[in-house]
Structure 1
């Protein structure tokens, strides 16, 4: 059996290739897993649990089908879907996790997270993150009608794209000292995260102890999956295919 990890799919009504690849993955691979972990940015932007568009209903239905089959599914919020809430969890059967979660991965202690909090050199983004995660602001936004929410989201997305153009790749990558700090805090030697869109397996030593950091890939040009079992792990890709599963 296998535990699967995915992140940074950036699903939307405008990404039919990604959506089809995601649905195929859910129905043909995730259905056979020990568990599925979604480490943030499942959506290009989740506008709120009151989204009743056909796209939102279809995504919720995929997770409900999976959890109803008996496969546990866990969700860590990313910087694009921080508005995912209890209603979404109830409708899908998913379990919402905190910013950092320690799991037992076949006998190995692992820290899982989206990864954005590791980018401590990106001060501008961290200030934005702190602002949008304020409970009172989310409470207010969630009570706006959908017609009012959509232009706000478009403005936020446009500003984010413009800001990203002016940033160096180094600033948007993780800070090694923060990676080590988080691992030591949780007494773990394995970290799994997404966010940076730079799939890779990094090994390094801290105080003589070997540690591993696995970075998940994005789904912009193909599906990207981390497959783990009791013996090993592998970062794998899945091609986009035409047509629906």
Structure 2
């Protein structure tokens, strides 16, 4: 995978009036309803810039899938169509993409194909007097020790080189198996009444202080809402997307000169 340049600071121009933040869209071929809601949103593009804070895709097995035969597998065709839609958006609006725990293999070829800017995690957004720290959030879930060990392994250059050296079909098979195990684990946790691990508030507050940020925006935990941090700052947690849930989870956090607004979106018309 070609090394991607990651932007650590967005300096938003004063002419912008709305910056949208989303995360955990988890696009995949078997969830047509969420994909349609996402497509309707990017077609409308009611913002001056969009920040995707990780897990846009439910899985990403390497940038070389962009040149794979789309007729070989439904997932390949879906990913390529999703990238084409992003490229159409990026021709109209500034687009920033942060890698999450599901799509951490997004690289330079993806960014070039889309025309987007890949963000470091965390990254600072400065807009007038506002200073927001943006993150996917998974690195701060310190109590999830099994995940942190897995994260440390798969983020190494050696692991990624070994994984990407395998044929696309083999990688796709592994990704599907991993998704199935993840879904089974989450279902077992829900049945047992175990809540998802949240971020460590002190670690998040320390990162904010180091960046000189006034507020924090992140995803990953699927605990949407606002939460106070040590020191009095606010942590805004983004929702995951699921158009088939009751009620649907299709939320956008809009930053404006007047503050923040959570905007629920309607599912796309059938």
TM-score by length of 2: 0.82
Q: 1:168 to 1:132 in 2, by over 3 A?
A: farther
Q: 1:234 to 1:169 in 2, by over 3 A?
A: farther
Residue number in structure 2 paired with 1:240:
267
Residue number in structure 2 paired with 1:67:
90
Alignment of 1:220-239 (within 5 A): 220=242, 221-239=248-266
**C-alpha separation between the residues in 2 aligned to 1:54 and 1:195?**
26
Residue number in structure 2 paired with 1:218:
240
Q: 1:170 to 1:189 in 2, by over 3 A?
A: farther
Residue number in structure 2 paired with 1:192:
217
Question: Residues 202 and 230 of structure 2 are in contact (CA less than 8 Å); yes or no, is this contact kept in structure 1?
Answer: no
Residue number in structure 2 paired with 1:21:
37
Deviation at 1:126, TM superposition (A): 0.5
Residue number in structure 2 paired with 1:84:
106
Runs (5+) with no aligned partner, structure 1: none
Residue number in structure 2 paired with 1:35:
49
Runs (5+) with no aligned partner, structure 2: 1-16, 69-75, 243-247
Deviation at 1:171, TM superposition (A): 5.8
Look up the SS of the partner of 1:11 in the other structure.
coil
Alignment of 1:1-245 (within 5 A): 1-28=17-44, 30=45, 32-51=46-65, 52=68, 53-69=76-92, 71-164=93-186, 165-166=188-189, 169=194, 172-204=197-229, 206=231, 210-220=232-242, 221-243=248-270
Look up the SS of the partner of 1:154 in the other structure.
helix
Question: Residues 115 and 194 of structure 1 are in contact (CA less than 8 Å); yes or no, is this contact kept in structure 2?
Answer: yes
Q: 1:105 to 1:198 in 2, by over 3 A?
A: farther
Moved over 6 A (4+): none
Look up the SS of the partner of 2:175 in the other structure.
helix
Look up the SS of the partner of 1:218 in the other structure.
coil
**C-alpha separation between the residues in 1 aligned to 2:112 and 2:229?**
39
Spell out, residue by residue over 1:144-183, the C-alpha distance to the aligned partner (whole angstroms, 9 max, x if none). Answer: 2111112211222233334443487556111111121111
Residue number in structure 1 paired with 2:7:
none
**C-alpha separation between the residues in 1 aligned to 2:110 and 2:40?**
21
Deviation at 1:240, TM superposition (A): 1.3
**C-alpha separation between the residues in 2 aligned to 1:213 and 1:236?**
17
RMSD: 1.7
TM-score by length of 1: 0.90
Number of positions where the alignment pairs a residue of Structure 1 with one of Structure 2: 237
Q: 1:20 to 1:177 in 2, by over 3 A?
A: same
